[in-house]
């Protein structure tokens, strides 16, 4: 099993689980808190939650994989959120996604090996006038083209 | 219970309040089609095939989950209902890998039947299909998500009946797939390979890994000496594939069919079931006298073995060290029998016909090589054998009744009982009683351990000594019983079978297998026992000869080497 970088948080995680021991109905709440604490939900964390709450691992993963909010992969230092809402879609978001995936060598939903970038596709960021749009951490970049999107990333090296 | 009155398609019926429309319609003699529905196990209204019109309601209602109310007026056959059912099935078909003629479930597929019944002649929708690789990682099961219609019946049986919970719906929307956590392969998770999911799958998304090609090759190879063994439960189930009613005893015809397929010797797992009783009965008496590692847990059922290895490793010392009858057979065939008839065991191929998918896994366990070779080479389910018989063009019904070959084909009534829940216990008690007391049993039948109740308990009086026994079938019931043991409840001897009903309900049995069919097969097993001349394992002449000529006595050094085994704690993740 891949090691998680969460040893120092393990005690706090156990506290969260302890408060809901044997309560399968608290699963979503515990997952929220665990992700808030650790930043993502690696396998060891899901196993600990499954054991603590008395839920099977297959069911825990079922919930985690259902909700877009939960992630089993660590986020990068710079989190790229590319909008693929209707406006951005028709203004060329798919081409930008393709280019970003190629440039970073990862697929949407993944992080680069050096932990610098993670890439995810989101629905409408509420800036349709600037379509196509992406955000890097909290900053928005609009009126993108594939080349321009790559240029934005270069400012984050 | 208060009764309510409902009108379904102009037929008035009185039913208990809370009854679903589906059940009420049944009472009115009206059949509403279903797909995801599995009574008592999966009642979730997911597939929307059972929709009906309820007067006064805006939307169509799913009959399987909608309770009736007093005065309710239901219509099950209106243009709107027919259009909705067709649309829903067409949508399922539009994302289904439709390779019906080559599909393992062709002509025995609920989706196919439904499409026919609903008169669907074309699928109007064409679009993207979900793409997922088939999981062929285990030696027992194959999962093909591209045929899956997401009815969740497999999930429900794995969770509620077996409490294994290996699979669940993962992802969402178009990406939804039934799979283990993290999309792991089944071989990497705590799946016991029991195949109950196969029995409930309405389509060809779950099926046994097929080894018929390997067996055809062995049969065609003049260098190979191919022997076959048939499990107790197969003789009361295979007939179903050839037009016999469930539970019909077709032992003689199955033997004849195997001979016509070209097996060099047709033997019986019932022989090694008798051998198991000799070893396990002696093991029980020894432990009982010493008061050691009680309760003794039976070890015939490979799905159960994998279950205890994953979920209750702390109880492994209680497990009998006896191999299952299938594995005892392989070990004896490639040593004792090979020597006896002067055949080089390296030329011998042992094939098993089993009601079970987990047996495929068991045969490939690395420790099952005590004969110096893999003790059992290929395991075929009842279904696979039926396919071979059909492929060979053998007319099963018109076959004569033939007998097994000697000596590994001789068996007793006790042995055939292994095919049903409670049977190993009854067979063991018949022998243990006589070995312990040296007296003949006043009555052979132990009715206390018979029947389909999930957990059966009894105290058997062996000449003043009370022996407390329990029997569980289905892993959910096994779990319940093990929890009682862990809580301090005292038993001496416990039989556990992985599948509901025992092997008669095994994951390798003909489809459908349901509660009614299990009961019919069980009745077949008990009448097969009654028909036998010898009904106690220790009276089997060929078993006596095996001990005299080869093994010495039960639990001898050679017995231990060939017939006993050890287990592997596996953990849950």
Q: Pick from B168, B170, B573: which is nearest to A47 by CB?
A: B573
Which two three-digit tokens encode residue B445? 């039948």
Mean pLDDT for A4-31 is 93
Same domain, residue pair B217 and B274: yes
CATH number at residue A141: 3.40.30.10
Q: Is residue A140 part of a domain?
A: yes
Residues 6+ apart with CB under 8 A from B388: B212, B215, B216, B261, B380
Q: Which long-range CB contacts under 8 A does B9-15 form with residues at least 24 apart?
A: B9/B74, B9/B75, B9/B76, B9/B77, B15/B68
Q: Kindly tell me if the per-residue pLDDT of B177 is higher than 80.
A: yes
Write the secondary structure of B460-506 as one string of H (helix), E (strand) and C (coil). EEECCEEEEEEEEECHHHHHHHHHHHHCCCCCCEEEEECCCCHHHHC
Are A144 and A88 members of one domain?
yes
What residue of B is the nearest CA neighbor of A65? B171
Residue A133 lies in a domain: yes
Can you tell me the mean pLDDT for B227-240? 98
The residue whose two tokens read 């050679």 is B558
Residues B9 and B105 in one domain: no
Q: Please, what is the Cα angle at A70 between A66 and A76, to 5 degrees?
A: 135
Do B421 and B531 fall within a single domain? Answer: yes
Smallest CA–CA distance, residue B563 to chain A, in Å, is 36
**pLDDT score at B386:** 98
Q: What is the pLDDT of residues B32-46, one digit of tens each?
A: 999 999 999 999 999
Rounded-to-integer distance, Cα B114 and Cα B120, Å = 9
The Cα B269–Cα B229 span in angstroms is 5
Whether residue A11 is found in the same domain as residue A48: yes
Length of chain A: 157
**Residue B568 belongs to some domain of the structure:** no
Please indicate, yes or no, whether residues B337 and B371 belong to a single structural domain of this protein. yes
Residue B286 lies in a domain: yes
Query: Which band of pLDDT confidence, cut at 50, 70 and 90, is reported for residue B350?
Result: very high
A152 exposure class (CB count in 10 Å sphere: 0-12, 13-18, 19+): middle
Mean pLDDT, range B255-279, rounded to an integer: 98
Q: Say how far apart CA B457 and CA B268 lie, in whole Å.
A: 30
Domain boundary among B46, B77, B108: B77
Q: Over 90: is that where the pLDDT of A1 sits? A: no
Q: Which of B301, B320, B324, B411 is catalytic?
A: B320
What is the distance between the alpha carbons of residues B417 and B413, in angstroms, rounded to a whole number?
7
A82 and A127 share one domain: yes
- B346 and B255: one domain? yes
Q: Is A119 within a domain?
A: yes
Interchain CB distance below 8 Å, A60 and B181: yes
Residue A73 lies in a domain: no
Range of the domain at A57: 7-66
Q: What are phi and psi of B346, to 5 degrees?
A: -70, -20
Reported pTM: 0.94
Residue A71 within a domain: no
CATH number of domain containing B358: 3.40.50.1780
User: How far, in Å, CA of B425 to CA of B417, rounded?
Assistant: 9
Q: Which two tokens stand for residue B446?
A: 């132990």
Question: Does residue A33 lie within any of the structural domains?
Answer: yes
Asked if A44 has any chain B CB less than 8 Å from its own CB, the reply is no
Q: What whole-number distance in Å separates Cα of residue B282 and Cα of residue B286? A: 6
**pLDDT tens for residues A26-60?**
999 999 999 999 999 999 999 999 999 999 999 99
Asked if pLDDT for residue A2 goes beyond 80, the answer is no
What's residue B363's pLDDT? 98
Cα distance between residue B483 and residue B351, in whole Å:
37
Q: Is residue B308 part of a domain?
A: yes
Q: Which two tokens stand for residue B73?
A: 């007026």
For tokens 């060891």, name the residue: A44
Both tokens assigned to B495? 């039989």
Query: Do B170 and A62 make contact, defined as CB atoms within 8 angstroms?
Result: yes
Q: Residue B171: which of A121, A56, A66 has the closest Cα?
A: A66
Same domain, A100 and A132: yes
For chains A and B, count residue pairs whose Cβ atoms are closer than 8 Å. 37
Active site residue B280: yes
Largest CA distance in chain B: 80
Tell me whether residue B320 is one of the annotated catalytic residues: yes
Asked whether residue B71 is domain-assigned, the answer is: yes
Residues B52 and B129 in one domain: no
Cβ contacts of residue A24 below 8 Å, gap of 6+? A53, A54, A55
Looking at B17, B51, B77, the residue that finishes a domain is B77
Contact B172 A66 (CB under 8 A): yes
Assess whether A60 and A86 both reside in one domain: no
Helix (H, G, I), strand (E, B) or coil at B455: strand
Predicted confidence at residue A3, as pLDDT, reads 61
Residue A90 sits in the same domain as residue A36 = no
Helix (H) or strand (E) holding A134: strand A134-136
Q: Is A48 on the interface with B (CB under 8 A)?
A: no
Q: What is the domain range of residue B537?
A: 212-563
| A58 to B180: CB separation less than 8 angstroms, yes or no | yes
Distance from C-alpha of B90 to C-alpha of B164, rounded to nearest angstrom: 33
B201 tagged catalytic? no
Q: Is residue B88 in some structural domain?
A: no
Out of B77, B103, B130, pick the residue that ends a domain.
Answer: B77
Same domain, A12 and A55: yes
Q: Token pair 């099963």 is at which residue? A: B396
Query: What digits encode the pLDDT tens for the residues B115-143?
Result: 999 999 999 999 999 999 999 999 999 99
Euclidean distance between CA atoms A157 and B178, whole angstroms:
41
Please state the domain count of chain B.
Answer: 3
- Sheet containing strand B265-268, edge to edge, reads B265-268, B225-230, B348-354, B378-381
Q: Are residues A95 and A40 in the same domain?
A: no
In the predicted structure, residue A6 carries a pLDDT above the cut 90 = no
Q: What is the distance between the alpha carbons of residues A118 and A73, in angstroms, rounded to a whole number?
A: 9
Q: What is the mean pLDDT of chain B?
A: 97
pLDDT in tens, B100-114: 999 999 999 999 999
Encoded tokens for B77: 């056959």
Decide if pLDDT at A4 tops 80. no
Neighbouring C-beta atoms of residue B435, cutoff 10 Å: 15
Is the Cβ–Cβ distance between A133 and A125 less than 8 Å?
Answer: yes
Pair A119, A94 in one domain: yes
Torsion over CA of B230, B232, B234 and B237, rounded to 10 degrees?
160
Question: What is the pLDDT at residue B1?
Answer: 73
The CA distance from A46 to the nearest CA of chain B, in Å, is 10
Return the structure tokens found at B272: 């090694």
Transcribe B173-225 into DSSP letters.
GGG-EEESGGG--GGGTT-----HHHHH-SSTTEEEPP-HHHHHHHHH-TT-E
Alpha-carbon span B105 to B502, nearest angstrom: 24
Question: Do B106 and B249 share a domain, yes or no?
Answer: no
A149 shares a domain with A128: yes
Task: Assess whether B195 and B238 both reside in one domain.
Answer: no
- B201/B224 same-domain check: no
When pLDDT is cut at 50, 70 and 90, the band that residue B435 belongs to is very high
Q: Which helix (H) or strand (E) holds A121?
A: strand A117-122
Interval B77-95: pLDDT, tens: 999 999 999 999 999 999 9
Query: What does the radius of gyration of chain B's CA atoms come to, in whole angstroms?
Result: 25
Q: How far apart are CA B21 and CA B44, in angstroms?
A: 14
Closest-CA residue in chain B for A70?
A: B171
pLDDT in tens, B483-520: 999 999 999 999 999 999 999 999 999 999 999 999 99
What is the distance, to the nearest Å, from the Cα of residue B453 to the centroid of all Cα atoms in its chain? 17
Question: For chain A, how many structural domains are there in total?
Answer: 2
Tell me which of B286, B367, B515, B516 is the catalytic residue.
B367
Which CATH number fits the domain that encloses residue B137? 3.30.70.20
Chain A CB contacts of B182 under 8 Å are: 43, 61, 72
Q: What is the pLDDT of residue A123?
A: 84
Residue B75 pairs with which residues in a beta bridge?
B53
pLDDT at position A157 is 77
Residue A62 contacts B where some CB pair is shorter than 8 Å: yes
Is B177 found in the same domain as B149?
yes
What would the mean pLDDT of B197-225 be, rounded to a whole number? 98
The verdict on B41 and B151 lying in the same domain is no
In the structure, what pLDDT confidence band is assigned to residue A68 with cuts at 50, 70 and 90? confident
Q: Tell how strand B348-354 and strand B225-230 pair up.
A: parallel
Residues B167 and B118 in one domain: yes
Read off the pLDDT of each residue in B389-417 and give the average, rounded to a whole number: 98
């Amino acid at each position: 099993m891949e090691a998680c970088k969460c040893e120092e948080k393990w005690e706090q995680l156990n506290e969260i689980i302890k408060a809901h021991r044997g309560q399968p109905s608290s699963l979503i709440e515990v997952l929220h808190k665990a992700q808030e604490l650790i930043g993502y939900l690696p396998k060891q964390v899901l196993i600990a939650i499954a054991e603590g709450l008395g839920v099977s691992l297959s069911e825990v993963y079922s919930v985690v994989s259902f909700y877009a909010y939960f992630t089993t992969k660590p986020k990068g230092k710079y989190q790229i959120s590319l909008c693929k809402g209707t406006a951005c879609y028709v203004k060329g978001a798919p081409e930008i996604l393709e280019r970003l995936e190629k440039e970073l060598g990862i697929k949407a939903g993944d992080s680069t090996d050096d932990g610098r970038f993670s890439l995810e596709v989101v629905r409408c960021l509420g800036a349709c006038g600037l379509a196509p749009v992406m955000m890097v951490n909290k900053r928005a970049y609009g009126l993108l083209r594939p080349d321009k999107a790559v240029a934005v990333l270069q400012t984050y090296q | 219970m208060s009764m309510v009155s409902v009108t379904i398609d102009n037929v008035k019926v009185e039913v208990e309040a809370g009854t679903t429309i589906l059940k009420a319609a049944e009472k009115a003699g009206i059949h509403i089609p279903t797909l995801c529905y599995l009574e008592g196990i999966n009642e979730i209204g997911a597939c929307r095939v059972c929709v009906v019109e309820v007067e006064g309601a805006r939307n169509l209602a799913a009959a399987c989950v909608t309770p009736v109310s007093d005065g309710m007026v239901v219509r099950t056959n209106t243009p709107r209902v027919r259009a909705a059912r067709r649309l829903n099935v067409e949508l399922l078909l539009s994302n289904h890998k439709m390779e019906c003629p080559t599909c393992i479930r062709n002509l025995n597929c609920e989706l196919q039947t439904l499409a026919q019944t609903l008169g669907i002649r074309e699928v109007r929708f064409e679009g993207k299909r979900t793409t997922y690789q088939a999981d062929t990682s285990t030696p027992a099961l194959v999962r093909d998500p591209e045929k899956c219609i997401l009815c969740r019946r497999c999930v429900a049986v794995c969770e509620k009946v077996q409490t294994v919970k290996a699979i669940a719906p993962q992802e969402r929307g178009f990406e939804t797939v039934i799979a283990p956590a993290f999309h792991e392969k089944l071989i990497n998770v705590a799946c016991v390979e029991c195949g109950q999911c196969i029995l409930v799958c309405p389509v060809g998304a779950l099926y046994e890994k097929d080894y018929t090609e390997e067996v055809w090759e062995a049969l065609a190879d003049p260098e190979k000496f191919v022997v076959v063994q048939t499990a107790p439960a197969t003789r009361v189930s295979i007939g179903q594939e050839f037009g016999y009613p469930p539970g019909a005893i077709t032992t003689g015809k199955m033997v004849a069919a195997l001979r016509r397929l070209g097996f060099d010797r047709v033997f019986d797992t019932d022989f090694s079931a008798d051998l198991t009783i000799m070893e396990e009965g002696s093991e029980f008496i020894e432990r009982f006298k010493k008061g050691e590692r009680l309760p003794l847990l039976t070890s015939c059922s490979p799905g159960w073995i994998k279950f205890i290895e994953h979920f209750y490793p702390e109880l492994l010392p209680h497990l009998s060290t006896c191999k299952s009858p299938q594995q005892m057979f392989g070990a004896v065939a490639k040593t004792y029998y090979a020597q006896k008839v002067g055949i080089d065991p390296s030329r011998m191929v042992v094939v098993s016909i089993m009601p079970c998918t987990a047996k495929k896994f068991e045969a490939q366990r690395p420790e099952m090589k005590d004969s110096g070779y893999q003790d059992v080479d290929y395991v075929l389910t009842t279904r696979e054998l039926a396919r071979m018989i059909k492929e060979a063009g053998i007319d099963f019904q018109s076959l004569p009744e033939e007998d097994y070959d000697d000596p590994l084909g001789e068996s007793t009534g006790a042995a055939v009982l292994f095919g049903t829940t409670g049977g190993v216990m009854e067979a063991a008690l018949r022998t243990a009683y006589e070995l312990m007391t040296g007296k003949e049993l006043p009555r052979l039948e132990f009715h206390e351990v018979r029947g389909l109740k999930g957990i059966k308990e009894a105290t058997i009086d062996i000449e003043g000594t009370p022996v407390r026994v329990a029997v569980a079938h289905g892993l959910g019931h096994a779990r319940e019983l093990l929890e009682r043991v862990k809580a301090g409840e005292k038993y001496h001897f416990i039989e556990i079978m992985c599948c509901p009903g025992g092997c008669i309900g095994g994951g390798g049995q003909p489809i459908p297998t349901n509660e009614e069919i299990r009961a019919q097969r069980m009745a077949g097993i008990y009448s097969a026992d009654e028909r036998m001349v010898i009904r106690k394992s220790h009276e089997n002449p060929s078993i006596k000869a095996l001990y005299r000529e080869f093994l010495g006595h039960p639990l001898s050094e050679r017995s231990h080497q060939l017939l006993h085994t050890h287990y592997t704690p596996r953990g849950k993740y």
